[in-house]
Amino acid sequence: MTIEDVPTTATSPTWIERGGTPAAPGNSRLRPLGLREVTLRDGFWRQRQQTNRAKSFAHIEYWLEKAGWLGNFSAPPEQRRGREFSDTEVYKFLEALAWEYGRTRDPELARRHRAIVARVIVAQQPDGYLNTNFGRPGQQPRYSDLEWGHELYSYGHLIQAGVAAARTFGEDELVAAAVRAADHVCDVFGPGGIVSVCGHAEIEPALAELYRVTGNRRYLEQARLFIQRRGHRTLADIEFGRGYFQDDVPVREAGSLRGHAVRAVYLAAGAVDVAVETGDTELLGAVARQWRHAVARRTYITGGIGSRHQDEAFGDDFVLPPDRAYSETCAGVGSIMLAWRLLLAQGDPRYADLIERVLFNVIATSPADDGTRFFYANTLHQRVLGAEPSADTQVPRAASTLRASWFEVSCCPTNLARTFASLAAYVATADDDGVQIHQYTPAGIATTLPDGREIGLEIETQYPADGRITIRITTTPDTPWTLSLRVPDWAAGATLDGLAITRGLVQTRRRFTAGEALVLELPVRPRFVAADDRIDSVRGQAALVRGPVVYCLESVDVPRGVDFDALRLDPNAEPVDRDGSVVAAFRSVDFTPHDWPYQPLAAAADAGPPMRIPLRPYHRWARRGPSTMRVWMPLSSER
């Protein structure tokens, strides 16, 4: 079967022409735009997208060869290298190449893509099975370790790569391989087959997306089965409990996202896909409810998720220690996947609020400026000076306190690569009556509504450095249509063309004129923020946020002779913008040395003389060498 053989269900069959997009529901409130419908212009995100292409791609290819993970596909079983899921890094890189091609049409990318695909598909068995870690002589049998084997997870990324290829290159060898793999999965795990799920979700959104590409309902039905089975304790119990892989409670009954954070958001993304395609409003509502719970009680101020190193997991409500924050980069990627799907399905701007937080404070934080080193985890409080791993070294995943080149579990470089390559997709959407702008970054948008009306826009802004956003209409029909703009949750006091607007969505429906512009003013000013009082670990502390960007205090900015740990923020002194930093007022306390750190409760010690210290965007931290760092700053008792 090829993708031409079957009808598509997508609202538009022209994804190739439109540059592809990473999630294309056939039935949703908002319609995603293609990577050629939104073009990033010079600015914060385009710079990162270019570094991704110019530097990270080569870095990833180098490491996939060096670590042997690409070679595994043709190596004999006894020479296989890497962890059980290493195949997926190759697939995620293929996905990144596809999106980058979709957006640029650079034939060099197609050549690299084809070359890697050719090396991968030789490992596919006649029955569609493809995994370098199982089933060959000397290896564990296929599907003998569903808890930890990651076989279906691997197919998930293979299929996602196939979907990306189908939407950008069109039918190719990879698409065919993905279809063969999906058919194999349906054969083996479908009705009458193995009644179980994979320890790591990912096959679920992948199969749903493959259904969207091929129109073959078998894949959707299999995704639905996997979602339905999850939570019925078919997987073995483990030390972390079945909640680790969300097999403790059925998806539609759970109260919150929980367990391993990446698994949780990938699964929830798949559940949204299935809910949307099958019209299962109960399931969609359940996931939305879990998302709201997790955002309100289990999410860091950076938008990061996962507060436990032990199992890379969500903690209980309000357990969000900054100094042991895990906030895995890949959980940020997955969190965007999930929030994006919910946004398309429901249109609620709070989903885009979260995407913005994650983009500016997790996705932008992980990679080094040169795109060849990465934070695996994103702590909010670094207590000791980290050590920079040497450049050409593979390190354990989260052991490094500074950005590292490559990891034994190296999921973040490729996950970032596919995210940066497809970043334009998250800027805006369309519906029958107009365009919705969700993220503010310099960009050109050109799309056609289902009724054929063409709309062109330019977003002109220095955001997030500045809050002025000009939306210039470049192409418009002469009939009325609606332009929707997100007003972030933090943006109390925003204006549109000088008029006060409320937070949420501001919708302008009228006849527009080509050349006219709307000016949205978001109050991008430094502001101190406190946490819900149940987050014990940051009680008596404040963070500084400016627009969507979380700031931090780094020891390299602290005057010599001042004890970093003794600094106390004076929240009554107005923080002041200065050259990309924000200067805040601090005092320094003296610590009484004690043999025992628990002493009779006494009035807080007076703080010392005031001093002014710059705070920097959190995403810039540790870019000037090792430093200690705090997002949450203890408040002076002088306040």
Closest separation in Å from C-beta 272 to its own copies: 19
| Nearer to its own copies among residue 454 and residue 536 (C-beta) | 536
301 binds its own copies (CB under 8 A): yes
Residue 163's SS3 state is: helix
The binder of its own copies chosen from 193, 540, 608, 626 (CB under 8 A): 540
CA of residue 551 relative to chain centroid, distance:
20
Both tokens of 578, joined, read 């200065």
Residue 469's SS3 state is: strand
CA-to-CA distance for 606 and 582, rounded, in angstroms? 25
Q: Which residues, in sequence order, are bridge partners of residue 468? A: 521
602 binds its own copies (CB under 8 A): yes
| Nearer to its own copies among residue 62 and residue 528 (C-beta) | 528
CA of residue 563 relative to chain centroid, distance:
35
The binder of its own copies chosen from 323, 369, 432, 606 (CB under 8 A): 323
Helices (H), 279-318: 281-297
The binder of its own copies chosen from 224, 324, 546, 587 (CB under 8 A): 324
| Nearer to its own copies among residue 423 and residue 584 (C-beta) | 584
Return the range that interacts with its own copies (CB under 8 A); candidates 134-142, 204-212, 291-299, 619-627: 291-299
The binder of its own copies chosen from 491, 535, 553, 567 (CB under 8 A): 535
| Nearer to its own copies among residue 222 and residue 439 (C-beta) | 439
| Nearer to its own copies among residue 46 and residue 263 (C-beta) | 263
260 binds its own copies (CB under 8 A): no
| Nearer to its own copies among residue 118 and residue 529 (C-beta) | 529
Q: Answer whether 63's CB lies under 8 Å from 391's CB.
A: no
Strand 443-448 versus strand 454-461 pairing type: antiparallel
Return the range that interacts with its own copies (CB under 8 A); candidates 140-148, 429-437, 465-473, 537-545: 537-545
In three state form, how does the secondary structure of 198-235 look?
A: CCCCCHHHHHHHHHHHHCCHHHHHHHHHHHHHCCCCCC
Q: Answer whether 568's CB lies under 8 Å from 588's CB.
A: yes
Under rule CB under 8 A, which residues in 416-475 are in contact with its own copies? none
Return the range that interacts with its own copies (CB under 8 A); candidates 11-19, 114-122, 267-275, 595-603: 595-603
| H or E element, residue 48 | helix 44-51
Both tokens of 428, joined, read 């805006």
Residue in the block written with tokens 């409080």 = 381
Closest separation in Å from C-beta 139 to its own copies: 20
| Nearer to its own copies among residue 350 and residue 418 (C-beta) | 350
Closest separation in Å from C-beta 529 to its own copies: 5
Under rule CB under 8 A, which residues in 555-584 are in contact with its own copies? 565, 571
CA-to-CA distance for 339 and 329, rounded, in angstroms? 15
632 binds its own copies (CB under 8 A): yes
| Nearer to its own copies among residue 190 and residue 523 (C-beta) | 523
Both tokens of 315, joined, read 């903690």
Return the range that interacts with its own copies (CB under 8 A); candidates 52-60, 258-266, 367-375, 530-538: 530-538
Residue in the block written with tokens 């409670």 = 249
| 83 φ, ψ (degrees, to nearest 5) | -75, 175
319 binds its own copies (CB under 8 A): yes
| Nearer to its own copies among residue 443 and residue 613 (C-beta) | 613
534 binds its own copies (CB under 8 A): yes
CA of residue 408 relative to chain centroid, distance:
21
542 binds its own copies (CB under 8 A): yes
Closest separation in Å from C-beta 524 to its own copies: 15
Closest separation in Å from C-beta 537 to its own copies: 4
| H or E element, residue 445 | strand 443-448
Closest separation in Å from C-beta 292 to its own copies: 7
Closest separation in Å from C-beta 401 to its own copies: 10
Q: Answer whether 406's CB lies under 8 Å from 414's CB.
A: no
- Tell me which amino acid residue 635 is: L
For 55, counting Cβ atoms within 10 Å of its Cβ (0-12 exposed, 13-18 middle, 19+ buried), the class is middle
Q: Answer whether 441's CB lies under 8 Å from 428's CB.
A: no
Both tokens of 539, joined, read 């009680």
| Nearer to its own copies among residue 174 and residue 301 (C-beta) | 301
The binder of its own copies chosen from 22, 304, 413, 634 (CB under 8 A): 634
CA-to-CA distance for 92 and 183, rounded, in angstroms? 20
Long-range (24+ apart) CB contacts under 8 A made by 533-538 are 534/317, 534/318, 535/318, 535/320, 536/318, 537/319, 537/320, 537/321, 537/322, 537/323, 538/320, 538/322, 538/632
Return the range that interacts with its own copies (CB under 8 A); candidates 93-101, 168-176, 188-196, 588-596: 588-596
> What is residue 537's DSSP assignment?
G
543 binds its own copies (CB under 8 A): yes
397 binds its own copies (CB under 8 A): yes
Q: Answer whether 130's CB lies under 8 Å from 158's CB.
A: yes
Under rule CB under 8 A, which residues in 487-506 are in contact with its own copies? 489
Return the range that interacts with its own copies (CB under 8 A); candidates 1-9, 17-25, 336-344, 528-536: 528-536
Residue in the block written with tokens 């999930």 = 338
The binder of its own copies chosen from 38, 295, 435, 506 (CB under 8 A): 295
| 199 φ, ψ (degrees, to nearest 5) | -60, -20
358 binds its own copies (CB under 8 A): no
In three state form, how does the secondary structure of 97-147 look?
A: HHHHHHHHCCHHHHHHHHHHHHHHHCCCCCCCCCCCCECCCCCECCCCCCC
Residue in 337, 406, 378, 301 with CA at minimum distance from that of residue 56: 406
Binding mask 29-68 for its own copies (x = CB under 8 A): ----------------------------------------
| H or E element, residue 614 | strand 611-617
Closest separation in Å from C-beta 542 to its own copies: 5
The binder of its own copies chosen from 66, 232, 383, 612 (CB under 8 A): 383
Q: Answer whether 501's CB lies under 8 Å from 495's CB.
A: yes
CA-to-CA distance for 40 and 42, rounded, in angstroms? 7
| Nearer to its own copies among residue 93 and residue 244 (C-beta) | 244
317 binds its own copies (CB under 8 A): yes
The binder of its own copies chosen from 184, 297, 546, 616 (CB under 8 A): 297
Binding mask 203-242 for its own copies (x = CB under 8 A): -----------------------------------xxxx-
**Binding footprint of its own copies, residue count (CB under 8 A):** 66
Please give the residue ranges that form the binding site for its own copies (CB under 8 A): 238-241, 292, 295-297, 299, 301, 308-310, 315-319, 321-324, 350, 353, 381, 383-384, 396-397, 399, 408, 489, 527-543, 545, 565, 571, 589, 591, 593-602, 632, 634
